[in-house]
Structure 1
Amino acid sequence: MAVGATVCAPLAGRLVGRLGARLPLALAGGCITVSGLLLAGLGRHTSVVLLLSAYLLFGAGFGFANAPITNTAVSGLPPTRAGVAGAITSTARQLGAALGIAVAGGLVANTGPAGLAHASRPGWAVVAACGAFLFLVAHASRPHRTTTRPVPAPARGAA
């Protein structure tokens, strides 16, 4: 997961700066959806290659998601409120991580090592659904405009 996030986070920042948030969000949603679907079928005999691939995809999705989400939150407010938007985004991210860990822990709390993979399946299905939602949001959003409209000159004689 760490490798995927480390590689994709700076790439996402460059993509957001060049093309806007839509493409990195779509990549994040796609990676997270596929990783959740791969891990939703966990079992005793799941191969290490499948686990590593799924975790790499999940990390890549996480790396692609952070920059466009933060950019969208900060650019949606006037510059004087950008700090507030960044703080709210960071707080929401931390709260979501804490709740996600609590829910995932609750799903597998009373299972032994033999039943751990089976007990985690609903959690991975939720991850896949969240990734699919993120993918749909990315495709429903407005594309980034690369050109700007010129500001009209003030009329002569207007005060």
Structure 2
Amino acid sequence: MTPLKYLQGYPASLQEQVRQMIAGERLGDYLAQRYEGRHAIQSDKALYAYVMALKQEHLKNAPAIDKVLFDNRLDLTHRALGLHTTISRVQGGKLKAKKEIRVASLFREAAPQFLQMIVVHELAHLKENDHNKAFYNLCEYMLPGYQQLEFDLRLYLTWRDLQSNTPA
């Protein structure tokens, strides 16, 4: 039985369905049918504008974001597809906090829905720190169908791993 590292939290019956898709070489076709093409956001400046537009639409009262960028150092070995950080510095006699969102560079090549899902996930952390029910409700509010997109993203990551392990 092949371990599905991105799907470990899902029921065994669902994992078995995914294994059957992999065995039948249908996983790539499923993803291509649902998520064709890739987005046009390729620069950090464009990503910042995209994130700010989503923030303005859904989280007007959330703290300001100072920096948004694609990060080559984020990878799947650290289980991070995106990061939200707060960096605090003392300037004069005041403590200044800067908020950053970093998105793994692999999402430059991904479908627009996957980029949107990662951005929504990181924006939700501006209001909710933990992955609790309120967090996922906020994600679902900002992006209806969020749960399905998160699952399909995990399928996409599984498929990418399979492609990188296949000899050319």
Same fold per superposition (TM over 0.5): no
Q: Which has the higher strand share?
A: 2
Q: Which has the higher contact order (CA 8 A, sep 6+)?
A: 1
Larger radius of gyration: 1
Q: Which has the higher helix share?
A: 1
